[in-house]
Structure 1
């Protein structure tokens, strides 16, 4: 064996020893070098291990200075991406199918779309489902009636739950308010009709009156006045409206309720007096209120109120 061969073997063994040491240092996270750099270190004598040490030195010296700004930049960019608002089109997606079901010409399409409503959230389509029950297609009518029955059953169960909760603790203001508000929503939904609707109106008026006895609230008082007008209880409605006006003589909502009450009595003179009083006081009514007042005036004076 020649001297050159011996020197070469020693050099290779020394190189392998150095690579082994460096690999152990990388393995135990002493050197900040990725494992993918190991083949280069092993296959390139001298320069491979040397570059590994230089790479570790660079990462150690520059990495700490670059880490914080880099992370901060990434955080800012992430916040900017999160701040981009995406339009919520779920409501649009939910309302289109039933509207299409009522206007498309193909009965098959109508039935298919109506079935999709039954599998989604039919409670959001009460008004359109009531229209669908008048459709010329018998199956569409059947699907709409089925959906309305499901909704009515669900609402009735919820109503009974709140009623039982109130009856279990009639002194609870929270239980009373939840039960009362739900009866109001139930009436507004249009699910209950005929004699049952009249009974629920009466119950709603009783609950509102009870809430008003415990604590006066303008919103509750206005709701009570409206439901008493609907029930034809002129005396009860007037007493609530008078109290609202006594508390706030400039209340536009209260004056509109007064106007509605006089109109329900078909008393033209009382309506004219209410209109004159609104004008005289320059009561602020808002857009809808001005429209109502304009209906009762011939000269457009409602615009000034």
Structure 2
């Protein structure tokens, strides 16, 4: 047989395969991407076969894909049909189960109500060897981040409309603090968010004497390596509540974290002259901080 005849047979087979692939795509309601069709057309024999394999794969439903559907489907899903409350176990144990399908079911059943409660474990589950478990954990974390950002934008708008409202400042600072402490952010993203929190604290002078706000400011100053500002804020907390053990413990914690032995000694001397009624837990914390500074 001549070379021309061989080429003709190849082109005929190519055309037949191309036709079969097109008919299969139409019957299965699958649209062929024009760029993919061009490659199928230009590559004899292997082009149509590759296109057929891609179309056939796209028509299959990946296992447990329903766990990764849109948020609306997730909220409407009836988990009780899969697991009863008696069958639920802690998420820590769910991640150790060898059966991937059961592990996913348990995770979904546990996390459906309040994913924030299990955020630490979700951050670990991102690196689970089961791709579906890791995918679900990552998708949930991204959704939590999105909700944080949306809530932050909403509060910023409310503050712009009512900048003198202490309650709105307090809520906004609390949200930013929880976001920074959540573990969702790392590196430069976390640093930028801590700067945003710093600015929010500076813009809320009306609540500068609020103990909870002062504690947030102390943690943020320590995170930003602003040791002197952290010490000043801790002193403000003591002046505000001199008989509250938590005020002294916070100030002592600052000295421990910045390795300020002189400041610690001064605090302990002042503490001896102040009638603070420490609880048993408070005394244990105090002893822990003192031992860690030495």
The reply to whether TM is greater than 0.5 is yes
Partner Cα separation in structure 1 for residue 250 and residue 166 of structure 2: 26
1:149 maps onto 2:146 in alignment: no
Structure 1 residue corresponding to 2:212, chosen from 204, 209, 219 = 219
1:178–1:193 distance in 2 versus 1, CA, 3 Å: same
Q: Matches of residues 32-51 of structure 1 in structure 2 within 5 Å?
A: none
Are the structure 2 counterparts of residues 221 and 284 from structure 1 closer, same or farther at C-alpha, using a change threshold of 3 Å? same
1:283 corresponds to 2:276: yes
Q: Distance in 1 between matches of 2:226 and 2:254?
A: 10
Q: 1:10 aligns to what?
A: none
**Mapped partners of 2:122, 2:232: distance in 1:** 38
Q: Is the contact made by 1:159 and 1:182 (CA closer than 8 Å) also made in structure 2?
A: yes
8 Å CA contact 1:114, 1:143 repeated in 2: no
CA distance in 1 between partners of 2:225 and 2:186 (Å)? 17
Cα distance in 2, alignment partners of residues 297 and 124 from structure 1: 32
**Cα deviation, residue 228, structure 1:** 1.5
SS in 2 for 1:96: coil
In structure 2, the residue matched to 1:231 is 224
Aligned with residue 264 of structure 2, among 260, 267, 271: 271
Cα distance, 1:148 vs structure 2: 0.9
The question of 1:158 aligning with 2:151 is answered yes
Structure 1's unaligned 5+ residue stretches are 1-91, 299-305
Determine the C-alpha separation between the residues in 2 that align with 1:97 and 1:242.
42
Q: Is the 8 A contact 2:166 2:206 kept in 1?
A: no
CA RMSD of aligned residues (A): 2.8
User: How many equivalent pairs are there?
Assistant: 207
Q: Distance in 1 between matches of 2:108 and 2:245?
A: 45
Counterpart Cα distance in 1 of 2:114 and 2:105: 15
Alignment partner of 1:194 out of 187, 191, 195: 187
Question: Which structure has the bigger radius of gyration?
Answer: 1
Give deviations 1:160-205, integer Å, cap 9, x for gaps. 1111221233233333222222112222322222222222222223
Is this contact kept in 2: 1:226–1:257, CA < 8 A?
no
Shift of 1:145: 0.9
Q: Which residue of 2 aligns with 1:251?
A: 244
Match of 2:235 in 1: 242
Which residues of structure 2 form unaligned runs of 5+?
1-84
Answer yes or no: is the 8 Å Cα contact 2:217–2:230 preserved in 1. Answer: yes
* TM-score normalized by the length of structure 1: 0.58
Structure 2 CA distance, aligned partners of 1:270 and 1:94? 53
Specify which of 174, 183, 190 is matched with residue 181 of structure 1.
174
Q: Which has the higher helix share?
A: 1
User: Higher mean Cα deviation, 138-147 or 265-274?
Assistant: 265-274
Q: Is the 8 A contact 1:114 1:144 kept in 2?
A: no
TM-score where L is the length of structure 2: 0.60
Distance in 2 (CA, whole Å) between partners of 1:271 and 1:191 is: 33
Q: Which of 121, 126, 139 is residue 128 of structure 1 equivalent to? A: 121
Contact 2:122–2:137, Cα closer than 8 Å, also in 1: yes
Partner of 2:56: none
For the 8 Å contact 2:88–2:110, the answer to whether it is kept is: no
TM-superposed CA distance for 1:217, in Å, is: 2.0
Q: Which residue in the other structure is 1:113 paired with? A: 106
Tell me the equivalent position of 2:197.
204
Per the TM alignment, residue 118 of structure 1 is displaced from its structure 2 partner at its CA by 6.6
